[in-house]
Each structure stands twice: as structure tokens, then as C-alpha cells.
Amino acid sequence: MIKGLIQVYEGNGKGKTTAAIGTAIRAAGHGLKTIIFHFFKSEQTGEASALMKFKDLITSHFCSSQRKFIYDMNETEKQILKDETIASFNIAKALINNKKADIFIFDEISYPLNNNFISMDNLLKLLKNKPENIEIILTGRDMPEEIIQTADLVTEMKKIKHPFDVGIKSRKGFDY
């Protein structure tokens, strides 16, 4: 693979994970391997089921056993989530350093950063010292400015209108 870049899909609009997974599928079409780390997500997503069809080239690592949003968790559940997040980040670092895939996606990485589960310094060190031919894609709302400045490509997904604003809940197959 040619020089790997750092991509960011961020913002309050829909489509960040979809864009990252679309890149993984495109890359799989060219024989490139992707490992996705889904931070603050459990395995109950539609994309997880669909990606099993590409399991030779795209693998998913779900970093949470929790099935709640962080704002609904008690302190014990938050500590479990933090421990799982740190362990998953350490696995990701080892896989990147050992060049176990061509692309690594850190889906919803802004949440562990903004909740101080992963330190900004650790992530920036990983990004700045990644092997040259590894591509890293980061997604999430409220992406810290340090990440935006470090990235080679940044796309903001901006919400103009969303069904959630009028009380329509997340829909299976469309939102998860």
C-alpha cells in the first residue's frame, strides 16, 4: 500500500461510521485488510452482521460489553467500560505496530477521548508514530482539535435535520 493517511469523519450529522465502513469495503475490493475498533458500541449493530460476510478482509473488535449509553451508566458500569476501552486501545496499538492490517478504524473514538478514558497524548503518539503504510480512520462527534490538526483528511458530517429531533427513535437497519 502507498503512504497511509489519517482520516477523520466527525460532526453531529449521520454517516461517520458509514463513511469509514464504506472505505473498508472499497479497500476489501482491492485485497486490503481492515480492523475496526468500535468504541462505546456493543455487537448489536447491523453493520457488524453485514461485515461478517467480509471476515477474511474486515474484522471488528467491539470494545464494550455494556449495552447502555454512558450517560445511563452507574459508576461501576462506567469503570468496566473504561477498563474495556483501555484494553481495546492497547490491542489496537499492538496490531498497528505489528502491521496486522492495512487500515485501522477507530469508530467513535471521540467518546473515550472526551471522557478521559484514553489520553490524548497516547492517541497522538500512536498517530504520529504509526507505520508509514498504515491508514487510520477516526470517527465521532466533538472530535478534539488536536486530532483534527493531526489528520490528513477531515470531513464534517453536519446535521441539517434529523428524525430524532421530532421524537423518532433509532431504527433497526437504518441507525444501528
pLDDT of residue 1: 61
The pLDDT, as a whole number, for residue 16 is 96
Please, what is the angle between helix 120-128 and helix 75-97, to 10°?
10
- Region 73-89: what's the mean pLDDT? 92
pLDDT band at residue 46 using 50, 70 and 90 as cut-offs: confident
pLDDT of residue 100: 97
d(CA 167, CA 109): 27
On average, the pLDDT of the chain sits at: 92
CATH 3.40.50.300 correct for 6-166: yes
Over residues 112-132, the pLDDT tens digits come to 999 999 999 999 999 999 999
pTM of full prediction above 0.85: yes
Q: Where are the domains of the chain?
A: 6-166
As a whole number of angstroms, the distance between CA 40 and CA 69 comes to: 8
Reading the block at residue 31, the C-alpha cell is 485485497
**E-only strand ranges, 21-149:** 34-38, 58-62, 103-107, 135-140
Question: CA 36 → CA 60, 74, 148, 164, 167, distances in Å?
Answer: 5, 27, 20, 27, 31
Asked if residues 89 and 112 have their Cβ atoms less than 8 Å apart, the reply is yes
CB under 8 Å to 29, separation ≥6 — which residues?
none
The three three-digit cell numbers of residue 143, written as one number = 472530535
Round to the nearest angstrom and report the end-to-end CA distance of the chain: 31
CA distance linking residue 16 with residue 156, whole number of Å? 8
